[in-house]
Structure 1
Amino acid sequence: MPRRRRTILPWIVLVLVVAAIAFALLRPHAKTGAGHPAHGHAAAGDTPQPVTEQAARTGDMPVTLTELGTVTPLATVTVQSQISGYLMEVNFQEGQEVHRGDQLALIDPRPYIATRDQYAGQMARDNALLGQARIDLVRYQTLLRQHSIASQQVDDQKYLVGQYEGTVRSDQAQIDSANLNIAYCHITAPVDGRVGLRQVDAGNYVTPGLTNGLVVLTELHPISVIFSVPEDNLETLMARLRAGAVLPVEAYDRTDTTHLSSGKVAVVDNQVDVNTGTVKLRAVFDNKDERLFPSQFVNARLLLDTIHDAVLVPTNAVQNGPQGQFVYVVRKSAAQPEAAGATPAPGDEKSDAAKPARTPADTVTIRNVTTGVSSGTDIVISKGLQAGEVVVTDGTEHLREGSKVTVPPPPGTAAATPGQHRHHHRQAAE
């Protein structure tokens, strides 16, 4: 039994030592006297914390959506040959700006011209046969009235005239087809734009089945940016568009720092992507300076709406806590000189006159708020704060309910010391 007691005793002593250390570390600092901290250390609640403050204000807050988009031309055409033949001419330079109707290439038209002439000859022959058949029909009708021929012969002649008329129409269609092929030999630009790299050189035999075509023609101005916005914003977006509003869109580079171009929303897609919960938009830009390039990634900033007369505070003034978002509101104290009305002791009049009046420190109170949309610097307070109330924007790390705060003076504007005041008074007396 004594041996077991000696074994347990050290553990009891160790537990008591740990408890004493924990109590010493966690207990609040004892205060002595009327609010003066013990051992010469100032209590945290008595020392004003230096902070930066700013008054809440009213203003307009733009509701902006920034989404990643892709520059997409309104027209991208792979220029193809519609007939087969030898490529005689290439009438463009790579990267050249062309206009609709400009000739880009020429395919040898001579085979198609010869075919057209052949069809024209057939048509001339068939027209002659048609004319002869019509004259015979008139003659037979006259003889029928004289009862000189049978009516069957007249009917047969009518059908013969109809056959020749059909042949002539077929000949005309073949001539039109040959003329169309001749027109296809002259390959023209279907839209305004810029041609890319040439895919086929002159002298090659081209067909309508070329994989890459002759060249790719891209329309650069105007040009569009396709981007997606969350479906949660769809109701506001469509309401604005139905009201006839023009929704501006600003295009920035991938770093979201350099402004590239300004445009507006032109088209909203007709369905929501069920995989992403977004809807696609197309914004159109003039792109006269061609700063937007096809397939380029850009940041599209859509000005969806503007909230007018909103209560605004700096974004860093809003804190997050267990009860939600809150701000530290500064309660200003009126300036009251210390010991006002007290009679100074004999011989202390000069020193008391040089003392500046002491102003009670400002304090802060915690205010729960409801926030709205935010920009890069400001955030909307929709509930819990009024314009003109002062909030702490920096130095909130050690604040709590009722903490005293002070605003340090700007650099270079330090307050004068009592000794400096006495020096000025002495100069004024001299």
Structure 2
Amino acid sequence: MKRAAKLLIGALVVLPAGYAAYHFRDDIKSLKLPFALPFMQAAEAEQGPAGMPPPRPPVAVKVAAAKAEDVPIYLTGIGTIQASNTVNVQSRVDGEIVQILFQEGQDVKQGDILAVIDPRPFQAQLDQQIAVRQKDQALLDGAQIDMERYDALIKTAAISRQIVDQQHALVEQYKAQVRNDEAQIEYARTQLGFTNIRAPIGGRLGIRLVDQGNYVRAVSPTTIVTVTQLQPISVIYTLAAVAVGQTRLSLGQAEAPVVALTADNSTELDKGTITLVDNQVDQASGTIKLKASFPNKALKLWPGNFANGRITVDTRKNAITAPAIAVRHGPRGDFVWVAKADDTAAFRPVTVGQIFDGRALIDKGLAKGERVVTDGYYRLENGARITIEGQTPTAKAQATTQPRSESRVD
């Protein structure tokens, strides 16, 4: 019983001493107290060399090298798609529509007949004018024969000068009448031609607004159908006014290329060129309008719809680029994880100029050939050991243990 009590008292003395030796090892060590050394050595053995925590295992990552390449500089904006031409098809003469020769939504060429007005009254007018000209032509022919006779008689003084002059005047009068008749014939022929209502431009027809059998008038025109030219097609873009200088500089050298994109910029719709920069800035919004023309061969651009635009205004020679996926966004701005030669990761702030075709233009922060992490960055911290997929770790990296860093940027 006494022995058990002694053991209990000894334990109560040793345990607090060990606890104090572990937590106050630096102070105790400096005092060089012999009884505390065993506890200090045990604590150091658990933590590893130099009292540091055990190293984390390497993080598996994928990397890609930064490249130097020529990079196009873009301006972006949203635009409204407009047809190059839109025409309301109307009758130019009065009459009854006797034929409708088109289908709604049909593609037509310039000059195609769309509808026919009853041509009979206009054909009758043309025939009448032709008859009038024939009559006046006959009068002219007779007057010219008489004039030739009078000219011969005046030489022998068999007729007075007055009669000869009157005959010359009559001939000129009939000539003028014949010219008037020819003009009337041309007018009647034109009116007859207007009974065939033709497509003024090539394009696609809309909804038919007048049915066969209706009477239409030229003085109060009624739209029969609307034809819209879709190829080529125009897009009016709105850009910030600060971009005016860059855009005009590019247009001063050549027509600036532009790409039409969907609203989320994920799909390319068509490629075209900027054809016009507006001559003034909208002071209320601080924007300026640009007009672009697109071939629209695939008919992906539709009037009234919206399309984003990416306008090429310059080309940066030998610019540094990296995969866009490698660029991360933190509270201090954009950054990348750089894979160093010793297979450790380094946090690197960068300045991104623009994103294009899955790559980022790096204005500042990277050099050609430096490797950036493109996958696996979520578990990285500054100085963390890494293993690169498809690459054997260096001997230096295998032999080196890095301390755990408390700084981590996601």
- Normalised to the residue count of structure 1, the TM-score between the two structures is 0.66
CA distance in 1, matches of 2:94, 2:230: 30
Residue number in structure 1 paired with 2:210: 200
> Which of the numbers 270, 274, 281 marks the counterpart of 2:282?
274
Corresponding position of 2:5 = none
- Cα deviations by residue, 1:397-427 (Å, 9 ceiling, x for unpaired): 998xxx64444788xx9xxxxxxxxxxxxxx
Structure 2 partner of 1:387: 368
Q: How does 1:241-280 map to 2 (within 5 A)?
A: 241-244=251-254, 247-249=257-259, 251-259=260-268, 261-265=269-273, 267-275=275-283, 276-280=286-290
One-letter identity of the residue aligned with 1:268: L
The structure 2 residue matched to 1:316, chosen from 322, 327, 331, is: 327
Percent identity (aligned): 32
Judged with a 3 Å threshold, the aligned counterparts in structure 2 of structure 1 residues 125 and 268 are, in CA distance, closer, same or farther, namely same
**What is the alpha-carbon distance in structure 2 between the residues aligned to residue 108 and residue 219 of structure 1?**
28
SS at match of 1:387: coil
CA distance in 2, matches of 1:235, 1:107: 54
Q: CA deviation at 1:142?
A: 2.1
Contact between 1:56 and 1:387, CA under 8 Å: does it hold in 2?
Answer: yes
**Structure 1 residues 115 and 397, CA gap change in structure 2 (3 angstroms):** same
**CA–CA distance in 2 between the matches of 1:316 and 1:290?**
36
Q: Any conservation in 2 of the 1:327–1:391 contact (CA below 8 Å)?
A: no
Between Structure 1 and Structure 2, how many residues are aligned?
A: 342
Q: Which residue does the alignment assign to 1:112? A: 122
The 3-state SS of whatever aligns with 2:327 is helix
Q: Which residue of 1 aligns with 2:398?
A: none
Alignment of 1:328-407 (within 5 A): 371-375=352-356, 378-389=359-370, 404-407=383-386
Show the 5 A alignment for 1:219-234.
219-234=229-244
Q: Secondary structure at the match of 2:226?
A: strand
Aligned-residue Cα RMSD (Å) equals 4.0
Question: Does residue 164 of structure 2 align to residue 154 of structure 1?
Answer: yes
Distance 1:330 1:292, change over 3 A: closer
Q: Alpha-carbon deviations, 1:323-342, whole Å to 9, x = none?
A: xx6757869596xxxxxxxx
Q: Distance in 1 between matches of 2:191 and 2:117?
A: 10
Q: Secondary structure at the match of 1:67?
A: strand
Do the aligned partners of residues 201 and 173 (structure 1) sit closer, same or farther apart at CA in structure 2, a change above 3 Å counting? same
Q: Which whole-Å deviations, capped at 9, do the CAs of 1:172-218 have from their partners, x for residues lacking one?
A: 11111000000000111222222111111111111124565111112
SS at structure 2 position matched to 1:222: strand
Does the aligned pair in 1 maintain the 2:75–2:243 contact within 8 Å?
A: no
Are positions 1:82 and 2:84 aligned together? no
State the AA in 2 paired with 1:194. R
1:293 lines up with 2:302 in the alignment? yes
Ranges in structure 1 where 5+ consecutive residues have no aligned partner: 1-29, 335-360, 414-430
Other-structure match for 2:195: 185
Kept in 2: contact 1:57–1:387 (CA 8 A): yes
**Closer, same or farther in 2 for the Cα pair 1:245/1:220, shift >3 Å?**
closer
Once the two structures are superposed, the pairs formed by residues 408-427 of structure 1 within 5 Å of their partners are none
Letter paired with 1:374: I
Counterpart in the other structure of 2:32: none
Structure 2 segments unaligned to the other structure (5+ residues): 1-22, 28-39, 41-45, 393-410
Mapped to 2, the partners of 1:306 and 1:373 lie a distance apart of 12
Cα distance change, pair 31–270 in 1 and its aligned pair in 2 (3 A): farther
Q: Tell me the secondary structure at the aligned position of residue 92 of structure 1.
A: coil
- After TM superposition, list the pairs within 5 Å mapping 1:32-47 onto structure 2: 33=26
* Residue in structure 1 matched with residue 142 of structure 2 by the alignment: 132
- Alignment-derived partner of residue 421 in structure 1: none
